[in-house]
Amino acid sequence: MRLVELRLINFKGVKNFTFRPDGKNATISGRNGTGKTTVADGCSWLLFDKDSLGNKQFALKTLDGAGGELHNLEHEVTGIFQLDNGARIELQKTTAEKWTKKRGSASPEFTGHTTEYHVDGVPVKLAQYREAVASIADEQVFQLLTSPLFFPGAMHWTKRRELLMEICGDVTDADVIASSGDLAPLADILANRSFDSHRMVVAERRKKINKELETIPVRVDEVDRCMPDLSGLNMEELEIGKAELLAALAGLKKKKDDIFSGAETAELRRQRSEIKTKISDLDRAAVYSLHDALVAIRSKRYDLSAANNQARNAVAGYQDQIRSKEAQLDEVEHFIEELRQQWFEAAKHIEPICPTCGQEIPEETIAGTLKIEKARINEKGKKEASGRDALKGEIAALNMKISQTEKTIDNERETSLGKEIEELAAQVDNRKPSKVVAALKEEEEALSARISDIEEKAGEAAGAVGREIANTETTIENLQNKIELFAKAKDGEKRKRELAAEQKRLAAEFERLEGELFLLDQFTRAKVNMLEDKINGQFDKMVTFKMFAEQINGGLSDCCEMLVNGVPFSSGLNHGHQIISGLHFIKRASEFYKVSLPCFIDNAEAITEPLPEMPGQVIKLVANGNDVLTVEIDE
């Protein structure tokens, strides 16, 4: 595709400029700021909405000189392209501000932008426009082929590497292995792993093994240092000594058990218990005889007291009767005295006047009456006197009974029995043990003393046996420790053998891995050479590519750097050669994509060397002293 004409109107400050190379190589020149780059920007904006550096955000609208935008302008780019098949296509893109007057508002308001698209003069929708652009060029391809600095500089190195391999062709691991017989074993070694991951695994493993190998002498030394000193020790002797001591220990433990079970004091305890029983029997017997005597006397005194009391009660009863009789006697005496008075005073009580007729009663009648009266009193008196005598007799009889009864009361015996009882009771209370009992008690005490003596000694004996047991156990433990030294020594030897075996195994593996690493390095070198040869072979000899970077650990990491005469693009390469390296790439890429696009070489004044022969149209943008943009078309 070639550019036939490009017209800019109000684009990035360029008011109106038409560039008409007519599909030929051309040079646009002018002072700085005259608008050379703007022409390239106009072309890429027309096709892909971006400036020539690939920026979407840039000041498209005309600025007023103070940083502000001029409004109500139409910004337009029109391009006419000639396709490789000879056909031409005209594309036009016009952007304008959209000012809308809202109802009720005096002035219109800015409400965004509108963009109109025309293909061959026909207004089209964005989608149709894009379709038309796509038929001319793919956006990435356009960027790659129109701007020399894009591929070697602006593009990310990973994408650059991918693209380069796509264009120049990759070298597979299998290709590399097949390239040399030495590398053949790698096919099996790698199996399904990629070269890189396998190298990582091997390096890691080698590092680990190396570390392990380093620790082995240290570990052996440690085992050596922990090896017990067996000099002067005999395992068999130690075992025999231990067996003997174990038997002795069993005997000592039994002895200690016997002491604690009290076998020696058991017989003495039995004897003492027998004596205690005897004492208690005798004690009980002695108390019983005193008790019996006391009970007999108490019973006797009880009977006597009962008889005495009965007699005393009887006396008291007789005395009561006597007092009652004496009272009766007093009354009878008193009555007799009264009768005696009555007898003397009887005349006074005879009335001389008849109460019926009221006449004086004759003397003789009175005398007769008195006689009769006295006789009646006498009679009464006699009767009373006889009663009195009877009472006196009864009282005398009662007194007799009293003196007889009193004679039966034995106070003396009662008192003496009381004393006897008191004495016996005191005897029971303050009874002294018999000689037999005292002797038995002495015996019991002696036995108790012996028992505690034995027990005390048993404690001492047990202590002595305990100490002996402890000593024996310590000796056994010491022997055991010595015996264990043999086991420890055996373990140590075993461990050393194991470590030696491990060292051998690790060393063998280390060697194998070293071999693999060597092979892998060979592989790497082969791959680097193959790939770089393959790529570099497709470019001019001044241009080379570095596809691998060597790492400190000896490995390789991917990279993708373009070099001109061995100087890397990204560090130190001069500007002119930077552009030239980009042009070499565009040349190769055009071949690959089978397409050529107008290539804008901005700052072309930097190039003093002849340009590579380019497959497509070249538009050089050259800064020079021209005041206005000057266009020269190559014939």
Ligand X SMILES: Nc1ncnc2c1ncn2[C@@H]1O[C@H](COP(=O)(O)OP(=O)(O)OP(=O)(O)O)[C@@H](O)[C@H]1O
Residues within the interface to ligand X (CB under 6 A): 12-13, 30, 32-38, 59, 61-63, 623
Residues in the chain: 635
Beta bridge partners of 546: 561
The site partner of 433 among Mg ion, ligand X, none (C-beta below 5 to 8 Å per kind) is none
Residue 35 binds which of ligand X, Mg ion, none (CB < 5-8 A, kind-dependent):
ligand X
| Residue 266 partner contact from Mg ion, ligand X, none using kind-dependent CB cut-offs of 5 to 8 Å | none
Q: How far is the CB of 614 from Mg ion (least distance, A)?
A: 20
Minimum CB–partner distance for residue 616 and ligand X (Å) = 22
Written as six digits, the tokens of 533 are 């040869």
Comparison of 354 and 628: residue with beta carbon closer to ligand X? 628
The helix or strand, by DSSP H or E, that contains position 48, with its residue range, turns out to be: helix 36-48
Q: Among all residues, whose Cβ is closest to Mg ion?
A: 37
275 is in the binding site of which of Mg ion, ligand X, none (Cβ under 5 to 8 A by kind)? none
- Give the span between the Cα atoms of 579 and 144, in whole angstroms: 13
Q: Which is nearer to ligand X, 53 or 528 (CB)?
A: 53
Supply the minimum distance, in Å, between the C-beta of residue 56 and ligand X: 15
Q: Which does 33 bind (CB under 5 to 8 A by kind): Mg ion, ligand X, none?
A: ligand X
Distance CA 621, CA 38 (A): 10
CA 334 to CA 355: how far, in whole Å?
Answer: 33
Q: Measured from the CB of residue 68, what is the shortest distance to ligand X in angstroms?
A: 10
Q: Which residues pair with 69 in a beta bridge?
A: 63
Q: Cβ 46 to ligand X, closest distance in Å?
A: 15
| Two tokens, residue 521 | 């390095």
| Residue 47 near residue 607 (C-beta atoms within 8 A) | no
CB of 37 or CB of 95, closer to Mg ion? 37
CB closest to ligand X, residue no: 13
Task: Decide whether 42 or 615 has the Cβ nearer to ligand X.
Answer: 42
The CA distance from 329 to 147, in Å, is 184
Tell me the two tokens of residue 272. Answer: 């003492």
Among Mg ion, ligand X, none, partner that 38 touches (CB below 5 to 8 angstroms by kind): ligand X
For strand 109-119 and strand 618-623, is the pairing parallel, antiparallel, or unpaired? unpaired
The residue (of 37 and 596) whose beta carbon lies closer to ligand X is: 37
Provide the minimum distance between the beta carbon of 36 and ligand X in the complex, in angstroms, as a whole number.
4
Which among Mg ion, ligand X, none contacts residue 12 (Cβ within 5 to 8 A by kind)?
ligand X
Return d(Cα 547, Cα 528) in angstroms, integer.
7
Q: Of 65, 76, 44, which is closest to residue 599 (Cα–Cα)?
A: 44
Give the span between the Cα atoms of 209 and 226, in whole angstroms.
25
Minimum distance of ligand X from residue 12's CB (angstroms): 4
- Regarding 37 and contact with Mg ion (CB under 5 A), the answer is yes
Nearer of residues 38 and 143 to ligand X, judged by Cβ: 38
Across-strand partners of 599?
618
| Number of residues counted as binding Mg ion (CB under 5 A) | 2
Q: Which does 59 bind (CB under 5 to 8 A by kind): ligand X, Mg ion, none?
A: ligand X
Residue 13 interacting entry, from ligand X, Mg ion, none, C-beta within 5 to 8 Å by type: ligand X
* Contact in structure between 592 and 167 (CB atoms under 8 Å): yes
Query: By C-beta, is 293 or 606 nearer to Mg ion?
Result: 606
| Coil/strand/helix, residue 361 | coil
Q: Minimum Å distance from CB 541 to ligand X?
A: 31
95 contact choice in Mg ion, ligand X, none (CB below 5 to 8 Å, kind-dependent): none
Question: Measured between alpha carbons, how far is 476 from 471 in angstroms, rounded to an integer?
Answer: 9
Q: Which is nearer to Mg ion, 37 or 143 (CB)?
A: 37
Residue type, 616: G
The distance of closest approach from Cβ of residue 120 to ligand X in the complex, given in angstroms and rounded to an integer, is 28
Reading the block at residue 480, the tokens are: 């055991």
How far apart, in Å, are the Cα atoms of 101 and each of 74, 95, 111, 117? 19, 19, 10, 25
Q: Is the CB of 315 or the CB of 619 nearer to Mg ion?
A: 619
- Token pair 């490789």: residue: 84
The interface region with Mg ion, picked from 37-45, 221-229, 367-375, 415-423 by CB under 5 A, is: 37-45
Which of 416, 413, 407 lies closest to 304, judged by CA?
Answer: 413
34 binds, among ligand X, Mg ion, none (CB under 5 to 8 A by kind): ligand X
The alpha carbon of residue 290 and the mean position of all alpha carbons in its chain are separated, in whole angstroms, by 84
**Residue 578: which of Mg ion, ligand X, none does it interact with, CB under 5 to 8 A by kind?**
none
The residues near 174 (Cβ < 8 Å, ≥ 6 apart) are 187
Residues numbered 17-36 forming contacts with Mg ion, rule: CB under 5 A: 36
Min dist CB 207 to Mg ion, Å, is 54
Q: Which is nearer to ligand X, 30 or 612 (CB)?
A: 30
In whole angstroms, how close is the CB of 123 to ligand X at the nearest point? 26
Nearer to ligand X, 59 or 263 (CB): 59
Residue 36 or 482: the one with the smaller Cβ distance to Mg ion is: 36
| CA atoms 397, 399, 401, 404: torsion sign | negative
C-alpha 308/C-alpha 410 separation (Å) is: 7
CB of 630 to ligand X, least distance (A): 11
Helix (H) or strand (E) holding 434: none
Strand order in the sheet with 2-11: 14-19, 2-11, 74-82, 88-100, 109-119, 122-124
Amino acid at 231: S
- The residues that touch Mg ion, with contacts defined as CB under 5 A, are 36-37
